Amino acid sequence: MGMVDVKAKILEKNYSKAAVLRDKFKNTCVLNFVSSPGSGKTSILEKVLVMFKDKYKLAVVEGDQQTTNDADRIEATGVTAYQVNTGRACHLEATDVEKAMAELGYDLDLLIIENVGNLVCPSQFDLGEDAKVIVLSTTEGDDKPIKYPVMFRVGSSFIINKTDLLPYVEFDVDKCIGYAKGVNPELEVFQASCKTGEGLEEIAAYIEGMIAKKKNA
Amino acid sequence: MHEASIAASLIEIVIDTAEKNKAEKVTKVFVKIGRLAAIEIDSLEFAYDAIKEEYEIIKDSEIIIEDVPITGKCQKCGVTDTYEEMFFACGACGAFEVELLTGEELTITEIEVD
Ligand SMILES: Nc1nc2c(ncn2[C@@H]2O[C@H](COP(=O)(O)OP(=O)(O)OP(=O)(O)O)[C@@H](O)[C@H]2O)c(=O)[nH]1
Ligand SMILES: [Mg+2]
Ligand SMILES: [Zn+2]
């Protein structure tokens, strides 16, 4: 009988795979979009990426448990997309991105990863990204940032989507932003509507800024 | 629910470590899970116990999970505190600039072997 010291991160393997990816993404800005199911991740990407797609080499990795619907929607806008079906898994892992990149190639200015709709599990799986972009829609309740604080802690930016629905739902934008900043004061916050187009240009500018930042790093 | 994939990663490390140390049986596995690690402790235990049956070397092992509270230090006033909620305003001065000391753990610390 004896004790063996281990002192390892349980997700060590995922971290080391993500580190390898991060190394290969030296010139590629990588954004990991996370949200509950249906907050509007794909809608935002459909509307925003077309604003600058001709200026950059870009691609989208779509993670869903099933179907290629989201990749098909992105492809329809003229942007390359690769669908990963995770089956029962509720999040993408670094190994999924590795497989996608074997198809897409690393010669990209921007890679967007749309994670599986889930505000819990993807928070623990590093994908080699530069930033996690959290999307929350106004139909989900303004207290989500304190209900799912783990994700809000590891996020870099936060988009409140479906602002066109504000007149019809109980959602206090200021309160929501206050909660989010309480969990993570560094969060950069955006408000958007894919219906009216409000705020989408700001998101495009943010992404282009991230691309430039990566290039100059 | 990602506790199953966490348990699978954990078991991989346990078996690997046991084999490297030429152990015949693993009896205990010590794990630290921070409140911020997005893990349901019961589900992790359940997943571990379900998967361990498939491997002779860990079949009779017990997982012992330490539930690590969230503690932090306020960068404005220096007060160290435990946070029940995950809304990190300093209890003393109200500032949001709190540096986390513990709560993000998702680690295996040691194993007991025969
Ligand atoms: N009213 C309104 N509806 C929106 C807006 N953005 C998206 N939607 C609708 O919300 C639904 C879900 O949008 P998606 O873009 O598929 O959401 P998603 O986050 O990609 O969903 P999953 O990938 O399934 O998690 C669709 O019916 C969209 O048309 C918005 O700003 N306003
Ligand atoms: Mg989608
Ligand atoms: Zn303070």
Domains and CATH numbers, chain B: 2-113 (3.30.2320.80)
Average pLDDT over residues A13-35: 97
**Distance, in angstroms, between B51 CA and closest chain A CA?**
16
Q: Which helix or strand (DSSP H or E) is residue A154 part of?
A: helix A149-154
CB contact under 8 A, A13 and B112: no
pLDDT grade for A83, boundaries at 50, 70 and 90: very high
Q: What pLDDT sits at residue B99?
A: 86
Which segment, A82-91, A167-176, B77-86, is predicted with the most confidence on average? A167-176
Burial of A118 (0-12, 13-18, 19+ CB in 10 A): buried
Average pLDDT over residues A12-30: 97
Q: In this structure, what token pair is assigned to residue B7?
A: 């348990």
Residue B94 has pLDDT above 90, yes or no: no
Contact A124, A18 (CB under 8 A): no
Alpha-helical runs (H) found in chain B:
3-20, 41-52
**Which of A143, A121, A171 minimizes the C-alpha distance to B86?**
A143
pTM beyond 0.90: the answer is yes
Q: Which helix or strand (DSSP H or E) is residue B107 part of?
A: strand B106-113
Could you tell me how many residues make up chain B?
A: 114
* Domain ranges across chain A: 3-215
Q: In this structure, what token pair is assigned to residue A199?
A: 């705020």
> In B22-105, at which residue ranges do the beta strands (DSSP E only) sit?
26-34, 62-68, 70-74, 80-83, 98-102
A174 CB contacts (<8 Å, ≥6 apart)? Answer: none
**Distance, in angstroms, between A49 CA and closest chain B CA?**
31
Instruction: Give the chain A residue whose CA is nearest to the CA of B20.
Output: A4
d(CA A123, ligand 3 centre) in Å:
27
With H, G, I as helix, E, B as strand and everything else as coil, classify residue A102: helix
A-chain residues within 8 Å CB-CB of B27?
1
Q: What pLDDT sits at residue B38?
A: 83
What is the rounded average pLDDT for all residues in chain A?
96
pLDDT grade for B1, boundaries at 50, 70 and 90: low
CA B75 to chain centre: 26
Could you tell me how many residues make up chain A?
A: 217
Distance of alpha carbon A9 from alpha carbon B31, whole angstroms: 10
Q: Mutate one of A4, A5, A9, A10 to test the B interface: name it (highest B CB count within 10 A).
A: A10
Average pLDDT over residues B99-105: 91
d(CA A43, ligand 1 centre) in Å:
6
With H, G, I as helix, E, B as strand and everything else as coil, classify residue A8: strand
CB contact under 8 A, A149 and B87: yes
What secondary structure letter does DSSP report for B96?
Answer: S
Candidate of A144, A194, A203 to mutate for ligand 1, largest count of ligand atoms within 8 Å of Cβ: A194
CATH of domain A3-215: 3.40.50.300
Distance of alpha carbon B108 from alpha carbon A98, whole angstroms: 26
Distance of alpha carbon A21 from alpha carbon A19, whole angstroms: 5
Which listed ligand is nearest to B90 at the C-alpha? 3
